[in-house]
């Protein structure tokens, strides 16, 4: 047993309102530099939709992630020999058009235009060529189903749906969609790390944050192709690749990452997980249908004395163990089992989990008015899952590698919590019916109460359980502190730049 700590994230999609505040917070802190204009370390996508970059989930095109090859994993991108052949020309890179051509506006023209009959306009200027341009795409071009005949209908996850389901969804699309905010998943088995020929990408030992060394990066861009979530980006100005750093400077000082901190809907949770590193390969090799369960199994119980003992032997501090015991991620992912990894079939073991949205909203329109009386009796409400307008299969394609039963379980539990609280507060459902719902959802009144509390009424301290980062002890494991101390700090860091 090789217990390690991982900072893990949970996004509660039912609460996301798609305001992009997270993206802007991130942009303003990290990617407002030259060469990073097109990067969105945090972005919010509308589902159904093609996302950013366009159809990033389609690994037949982008070649990201791992493939199970017998009892071994191999990169979908390339093997060693192929990698050598492709080292000076990586054939699997997204073009800038697959992201979008970044632009600004000639704001000066609004103020300096000569007097005339027409309103002055600010023309869009490409941030790549510096010349006026026609905007053809943006980072959230299909936001709120914009251009859905082109974008939403090309969602990769729709391929698994039957013709009937597709037609159904097509009708539904006029009413229903949901948002999918994405950051780097800080995977347990990251394929970007495996794809890098320079060994520039690493996973921090003490918290599992995946980082790209700006000194070692040599611009091969294999990580850009290798990451199935397309969350590493190439900075054309510095000639280095960059990615979400989970705001580690903020984490180290006890603050939540900027996108978490600024989230308006408070959908984001962050906490430690303890996992068994010996079982990473076994987990990543699990059968597709079993991937989600395998990922739950690798996460260890932070209250188990054996686990605590092994964690301490690995240098995990008491504060970290306490944080893991108090972690909202542990509760959502393992204890309650209602948060699921995004596209586990890429086999990178992502450490960002999503609570799937409770679409559709229970209710319907009657004579143009929202009619809550349509919800009559529990039977109909419990059945709402099977009559869900967004097919379970679509969610299964996103969150469980096609295993629909897992999605159903998650929904039954979430519906049970709703019915339980409705019986308590609105009192239009009988206690017996609520009890039946709890049984169907395989949960208890206490658990439902806890899920409700952490979902709807959490404090900042409950959402973000950030342990004290014992950086000095982490350094001590690999380097004598007296060697490290004079070698780091003022005057030694260089800005990333082309140096060859």
**Site of interaction with other proteins (CB under 8 A):** 50, 53-55, 58, 61-63, 85-86, 89, 91-95, 97-98, 137, 149-150, 153-154
**CA dist., res. 38 & res. 242, Å (int):** 12
Nearer to other proteins, 232 or 327 (CB): 232
Nearer to other proteins, 55 or 443 (CB): 55
Closest distance between other proteins and the C-beta of residue 90, in Å? Answer: 9
Residues with Cβ within 8 Å of residue 434, at least 6 apart in sequence? 378, 419, 420, 422, 423, 424
Strand residue runs (E) in 141-267: 178-182, 201-203, 210-212, 232-235, 240-243
Closest distance between other proteins and the C-beta of residue 55, in Å? Answer: 6
DSSP state of 257: P
Token pair of 158 as six digits: 């729709």
Nearer to other proteins, 150 or 264 (CB): 150
Examine residue 53 and say whether the peptide bond preceding it is cis (omega within 30 degrees of 0). Answer: yes
Nearer to other proteins, 92 or 435 (CB): 92
Residues with Cβ within 8 Å of residue 301, at least 6 apart in sequence? 307, 334
CA distances from 263 to 133, 326, 460 (A): 33, 21, 11
Closest distance between other proteins and the C-beta of residue 80, in Å? Answer: 16
Instruction: Tell me the pairing of strands 66-69 and 364-366.
Output: unpaired
359 within 8 A of 145, measured Cβ to Cβ: no
Nearer to other proteins, 94 or 181 (CB): 94
Nearer to other proteins, 95 or 373 (CB): 95
Closest distance between other proteins and the C-beta of residue 58, in Å? Answer: 8
**CA dist., res. 255 & res. 464, Å (int):** 8
Q: What are phi and psi of 72, to 5 degrees?
A: -130, 160
Closest distance between other proteins and the C-beta of residue 51, in Å? Answer: 11
Instruction: Tell me the pairing of strands 369-371 and 364-366.
Output: antiparallel
Q: Compute the chain's Rg from CA coordinates.
A: 24
Closest distance between other proteins and the C-beta of residue 95, in Å? Answer: 5
**CA dist., res. 192 & res. 409, Å (int):** 32
Nearer to other proteins, 182 or 186 (CB): 182
Token pair of 262 as six digits: 């600024």
Nearer to other proteins, 21 or 92 (CB): 92
Closest distance between other proteins and the C-beta of residue 21, in Å? Answer: 26
Residues with Cβ within 8 Å of residue 85, at least 6 apart in sequence? none
Nearer to other proteins, 53 or 65 (CB): 53
Closest distance between other proteins and the C-beta of residue 169, in Å? Answer: 17
Closest distance between other proteins and the C-beta of residue 97, in Å? Answer: 5
**CA dist., res. 138 & res. 145, Å (int):** 14
Nearer to other proteins, 11 or 151 (CB): 151
CA distances from 426 to 362, 401, 412 (A): 15, 37, 20
Among 220, 182, 183, 178, smallest CA distance to 201 is for 220
Nearer to other proteins, 170 or 325 (CB): 170
Closest distance between other proteins and the C-beta of residue 406, in Å? Answer: 30
DSSP state of 331: I
Closest distance between other proteins and the C-beta of residue 85, in Å? Answer: 7
CB atoms closer than 10 angstroms to residue 214: 17
């Amino acid at each position: 047993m090789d217990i390690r700590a991982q900072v893990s994230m949970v996004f509660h999609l039912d609460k996301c309102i798609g305001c992009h505040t997270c993206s802007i917070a991130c942009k303003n802190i990290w990617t407002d530099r030259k060469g990073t204009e097109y990067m969105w370390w945090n972005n919010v996508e509308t589902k159904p939709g093609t996302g950013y970059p366009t159809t990033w989930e389609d690994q037949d095109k982008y070649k990201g992630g791992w493939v199970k090859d017998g009892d071994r994993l191999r990169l979908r991108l390339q093997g060693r020999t192929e990698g050598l052949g492709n080292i000076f020309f990586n054939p699997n890179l997204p073009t800038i058009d697959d992201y979008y051509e970044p632009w600004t506006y000639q704001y000066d023209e609004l103020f300096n235009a000569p007097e005339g009959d027409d309103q002055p306009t600010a023309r869009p200027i490409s941030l790549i060529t510096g010349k006026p341009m026609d905007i053809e795409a943006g980072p959230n071009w299909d936001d709120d189903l914009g251009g859905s005949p082109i974008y939403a209908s090309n969602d990769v996850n729709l391929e698994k749906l039957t013709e009937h389901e597709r037609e159904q969804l097509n009708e539904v699309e006029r009413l229903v969609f949901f948002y999918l905010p994405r950051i780097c998943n800080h995977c347990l088995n990251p394929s970007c790390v495996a794809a890098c020929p320079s060994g520039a990408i690493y996973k921090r030992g003490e918290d599992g944050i995946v980082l790209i060394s700006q000194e070692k990066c040599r611009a091969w861009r294999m990580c850009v192709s290798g990451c199935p979530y397309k969350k590493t980006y190439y900075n054309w100005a510095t000639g280095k690749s960059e990615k979400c750093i989970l705001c580690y400077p903020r984490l180290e000082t006890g603050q939540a990452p900027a996108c978490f901190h600024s989230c308006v809907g408070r959908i984001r949770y962050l906490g430690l997980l303890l996992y068994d590193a010996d079982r990473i390969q076994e987990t990543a090799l699990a059968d597709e249908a079993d991937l989600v369960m395998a990922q739950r199994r690798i996460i260890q119980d932070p209250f188990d004395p054996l686990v605590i003992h092994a964690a301490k032997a690995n240098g995990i501090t008491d504060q970290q163990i306490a944080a893991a015991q108090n972690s909202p991620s542990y509760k959502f992912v393992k204890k309650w089992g209602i948060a699921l990894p995004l596209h586990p079939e890429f086999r990178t073991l992502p450490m960002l989990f999503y609570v799937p949205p409770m679409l559709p909203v229970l209710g319907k329109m009657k004579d143009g008015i929202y009619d809550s009386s349509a919800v009559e009796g529990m039977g109909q409400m419990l059945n709402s899952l099977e009559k869900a307008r967004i097919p379970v299969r679509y969610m299964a394609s996103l969150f469980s590698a096609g295993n629909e039963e897992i999605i159903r379980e998650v929904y039954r539990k979430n519906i049970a919590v709703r019915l339980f609280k409705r019986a308590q507060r609105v009192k239009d459902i009988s206690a017996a019916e609520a009890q039946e719902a709890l049984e169907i959802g395989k949960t208890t009144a206490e658990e439902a109460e806890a899920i409700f509390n952490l979902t709807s009424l959490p404090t900042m301290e409950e959402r973000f359980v950030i342990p004290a980062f014992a950086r000095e002890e982490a350094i001590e494991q690999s380097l004598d502190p007296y060697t490290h101390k004079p070698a780091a700090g003022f005057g030694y860091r260089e800005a990333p730049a082309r140096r060859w």
